[in-house]
Structure 1
Amino acid sequence: MRVVTALLLTISYLYANADNNCILTEGLPQPTNGLNFCRKYTKNACCYPPHDLELEQALRTLLDTGDSCRIADIRDHPMSILYCLPCSPEQPKFVRDGKVYLCQSWVDRAFGSGKTLYKAHNLNTCGVLVSSPCVNVNETEIPNRDRYVCGDDYVFPNEGMSVETFLNSERSIGPLGLSVEDNYTFVVVNSTVNCFNSAETVQLNFLFVIAVAAATLIFLAEFTNAENLLTVFD
């Protein structure tokens, strides 16, 4: 029994420390004081409440394309899931080498595919409000400026445009910290590992394997003890 416990603790420690630090906090995921926008990650997050507020405000501005295009709760829009990626505790697993990996299966569920892309969420007719870059008198871009400070413009996805192309088409479409303006590129992959939203499934499967292995070892240990006990009575 002690061997099994030690094995579980060792594997759990190695698994918990196998990832890189979070992008926004530059540390490991941890419980926070409470997130409103990305509240599903409150118990274990890669962001703090100020990040959560900034992500929500940025998305509201991105989707500010008229009263008829608004939805009751912004958290119901698929873009809200994208904008909460920086807060996900699994974020270090699907952000690698300047790329943010999205699972094709999740993209299809959230946005549809082919010519129906975005249609269910009115992005065809509503578009998004992107930020205009700040430039000086020589028309040279001024770096390190907040979004929308120097103007904005409406952008509409083309018929049948893929999610990958759309997210990378404008610097300010992606979430803060993980957008093109932050030198990240979105990549949609047909995979079951190391991409959002498969990381949680992978983790559960991994832990399930450990649990089954542990249960088997415990059973064998108990079974061996029972056999030894019977041998004594024989």
Structure 2
Amino acid sequence: MPNYSLPVINGADIFPVHKIICIGRNYAEHAREMGHDPDREPPFFFFKPQSALAQNGDDFYYPDFSHQVEHELELVVAIGKSGTKISATDAADYVFGFAVGLDMTCRDLQKEAKKLGRPWELGKGFDGSAPCTAIQRGGLDDLEQFGDLVLTRNGREVQRGNWRDMVWSIPELIAQVSRYIKLEPGDLIFTGTPAGVGAVEVGDQLEASLQGFSQHLTLRVVSDAQ
């Protein structure tokens, strides 16, 4: 059986990953660049399977079934306690820590599925589509030490945004998700991406960071045929 887990920074523990929950259109400018009005939408979410998880430094294999893979930079919240119907007031008790991740997306598959009125999980949930750093333990109060999320592609900045600009805050996201599904230790919540999503190509080097966070996420895009 594959071992789907992430290291814990400055600790001997590992964080076994259970569910990967991704929030859609949670930054106003990104919602607008995708053609939506952020002021009219409640938060929504979708899932990636455990096999989407990729470790920091792993190669990203460009899937041979897509011709338009795009990067989406995200702050990731790790859940440390079980709960359902959690209030936003109590949400802090369920946070184990934080990480930096990428929601790699086959945009062409997603667009085609939307056009046909079909689910678009194949464009989001393919193997290796959720690269993630190790987990840094901390609570919501510790977020204040972090600044901008930044993504560079081949050394050039392509995405930048601040977690404070999320349309729906982390406590609100935890409350919304737990209204529908039970949150459990090991769950990861990818909290949405700021504006600037764009395509990647074989040979690209990506580096994702969060100001004040101790680890950068790095990956190389390689051909699926290798």
Q: TM-score range with shorter-chain normalisation?
A: under 0.3
What TM-score, normalized by structure 1, do the two folds share?
0.24
Larger Rg: 1
Which has more helix, going by share of residues? 1
Which has more strand, going by share of residues? 2
What TM-score, normalized by structure 2, do the two folds share?
0.24
